[in-house]
């Protein structure tokens, strides 16, 4: 994931060493851009989020206590996710509505796992922003509905219903795709 | 369904593999510019904070200076509160001595070129005021020194025997008067204040 000298890079970045900061950015920018594009519709918006996220990361790096590379990576990723959510909220793109459906009904989206990662990303990015956001947070980042409801300022029911709809839509898209391939 | 695998995979893949491209160098250039701005902002904030501290404390130090000048006034007021202090001139010899003393003081002050106009400019460390002597008229033909007869206020500087500061002695010159003493020390204060202006 990261080079062995990540801790040194962090330490040097903390003291404002620009080269170390650049190297850290170089190591993290691609995977973090991957996080941002999952949430943002356009690449330009994702770049904006990436830029803002890294700026905040370097700003608050002094307060960060290094424990391990995965912990550091997770911390930066959380910054990117939060920044993405802020951008979505700012653009008023998230309009989450509770849906009266049987939320306990299981929707099987296991075929998603058979997709190529790039195809999966395309599929995820093609669904409405509300669905996509909750799906990303729940299924990919591993947030609970409670955490999602707090992050997005919605009820747990709304979070569940958005996830349900997201899965249903993804399932339908996959079925359509399979039909296209079949025909 | 658990898509955690996806998370790990997504995190490890390059932009190209994920199906997007972004100009890393361009984003870094923007980021670097913002970080530089921040650095310069930090610098300017430090300068601004220092200026703010100067603005906060400079008036305080000026105030402290003002307080020392105000002390002169306060002390003079204290004299006024003490007034009228009267020294009885029991006989002509005493009044003569007094007059001579004042005259010699005036002569001494003038020879030193010290006047009340210089009072405010003097770096006062310690201010001591001598009670102004007023010769009370007890009998006819005895001199009376009254505040309303003040013609001049003089100041002298003396080196103290102890300590680093200088002691300033303020004396008032009185004119002979046959009128009853009706001391108006407020006048003394105002006069001094005006001269300080």
Residues of chain A above pLDDT 70, percent: 84
Mutate to test the interface with A, among B12, B27, B39, B42 (most CBs of A within 10 A): B27
Partners of residue A58 in chain B, C-beta under 8 Å: 31, 35
- Rounded to a whole number of angstroms, the distance from the CA of A68 to the nearest CA of chain B is 17
Residue A48 contacts B, CB cutoff 8 Å: no
- Rounded to a whole number of angstroms, the distance from the CA of A63 to the nearest CA of chain B is 17
pLDDT band at A65 (very low <50, low <70, confident <90, very high): confident
Which pLDDT value is given to residue B128?
A: 33
Residue A34 has its nearest CB partner, among B18, B34, B38, at B18
- Identify the top-confidence range among A18-22, A167-171, B10-14, B100-104: A18-22
Answer CATH for A6-90 from 2.40.30.10, 3.40.50.620, 1.10.1740.10, 3.90.78.10: 1.10.1740.10
Three-state DSSP at A182 gives helix
CB contact under 8 A, B3 and A112: yes
Nearest chain B residue to A41 by CA distance is B20
CB contact under 8 A, A113 and B6: yes
DSSP A139: I
Which pLDDT value is given to residue B184?
A: 30
Residue A120 contacts B, CB cutoff 8 Å: yes
**Domain locations in chain B?**
66-196
Q: Which residue has the higher pLDDT, B3 or B49?
A: B49
**Domain locations in chain A?**
6-90, 110-182
Average pLDDT in the A132-158 region? 86
- Rounded to a whole number of angstroms, the distance from the CA of A141 to the nearest CA of chain B is 7
Partners of residue A21 in chain B, C-beta under 8 Å: 32, 35
Q: What is the ipTM of this complex?
A: 0.77
Asked whether A127 and A176 are in contact (CB, 8 A), the reply is: no
Say which range, A93-102, B43-52, B134-143, has the weakest mean pLDDT. Answer: B134-143
Answer CATH for A110-182 from 3.30.2320.80, 1.10.3720.10, 1.10.1380.10, 1.10.10.10: 1.10.10.10
DSSP collapsed to 3 states, chain B? CCCHHHHHHHHHCCHHHHCCCCCHHHHHHHHHHHHHHHHHHHHHHHHHHHHHHHHHHHHHHHHHHHHHHHHHHHHHHHHHHHCCCEEECCCHHHHHHHHHHHHHHHHHHHHHCCCHHHHHHCCCCEEEECCCCEEECCCCCCCECCHHHCCEEEEEEECCCCCCCCEEEEEEECCCECCCCCCCHHHHHHHHHHHHC
pLDDT band at B98 (very low <50, low <70, confident <90, very high): very low
Mutate to test the interface with B, among A140, A166, A168, A174 (most CBs of B within 10 A): A140
pLDDT band at A176 (very low <50, low <70, confident <90, very high): confident
Average pLDDT in the B75-82 region? 36
């Amino acid at each position: 994931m990261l080079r062995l000298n990540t801790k040194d890079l962090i330490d040097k970045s903390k003291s404002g060493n620009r080269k170390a900061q650049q190297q850290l950015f170089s190591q993290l920018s691609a995977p973090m851009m991957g996080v941002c594009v999952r949430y943002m519709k356009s690449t330009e918006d994702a770049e904006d989020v990436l830029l803002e996220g890294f700026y905040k990361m370097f700003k608050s790096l002094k307060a960060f206590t290094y424990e391990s590379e995965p912990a550091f990576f997770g911390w930066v990723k959380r910054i990117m996710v939060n920044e993405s959510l802020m951008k979505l909220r700012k653009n008023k793109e998230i309009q989450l509505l509770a849906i009266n459906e049987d939320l306990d009904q299981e929707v099987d989206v296991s075929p998603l796992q058979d997709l190529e990662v790039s195809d999966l990303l395309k599929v995820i990015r093609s669904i409405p922003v509300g669905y996509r956001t909750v799906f990303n947070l729940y299924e990919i980042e591993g947030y609970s509905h409670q955490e999602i409801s707090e992050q997005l300022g919605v009820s747990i029911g709304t979070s569940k219903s958005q996830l349900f709809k997201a899965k249903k839509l993804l399932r339908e898209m996959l079925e359509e795709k399979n039909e296209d391939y079949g025909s | 369904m658990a898509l955690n695998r996806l998370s790990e995979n997504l995190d490890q893949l390059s932009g190209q593999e994920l199906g997007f491209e972004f100009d890393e160098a361009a984003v870094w250039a923007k980021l670097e510019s913002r970080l530089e701005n921040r650095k310069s902002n930090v610098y300017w904030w430090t300068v601004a904070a220092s200026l703010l501290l100067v603005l906060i404390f400079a008036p305080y130090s000026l105030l402290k200076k003002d307080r020392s000048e105000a002390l002169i006034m306060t002390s003079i007021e204290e004299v006024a509160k003490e007034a009228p202090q009267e020294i009885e001139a029991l006989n002509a010899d005493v009044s003569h001595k007094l007059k001579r003393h004042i005259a010699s003081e005036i002569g001494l002050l003038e020879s030193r070129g010290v006047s009340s106009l210089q009072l405010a400019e003097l770096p006062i460390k310690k201010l001591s005021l001598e009670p102004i002597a007023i010769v009370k008229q007890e009998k006819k033909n005895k001199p009376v020194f009254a505040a309303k007869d003040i013609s001049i206020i003089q100041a002298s500087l003396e080196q103290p025997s102890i300590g680093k500061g200088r002691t300033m002695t303020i004396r008032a010159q009185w004119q002979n008067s046959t009128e009853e003493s009706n001391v108006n020390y407020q006048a003394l204060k105002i006069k001094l204040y005006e001269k300080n202006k």
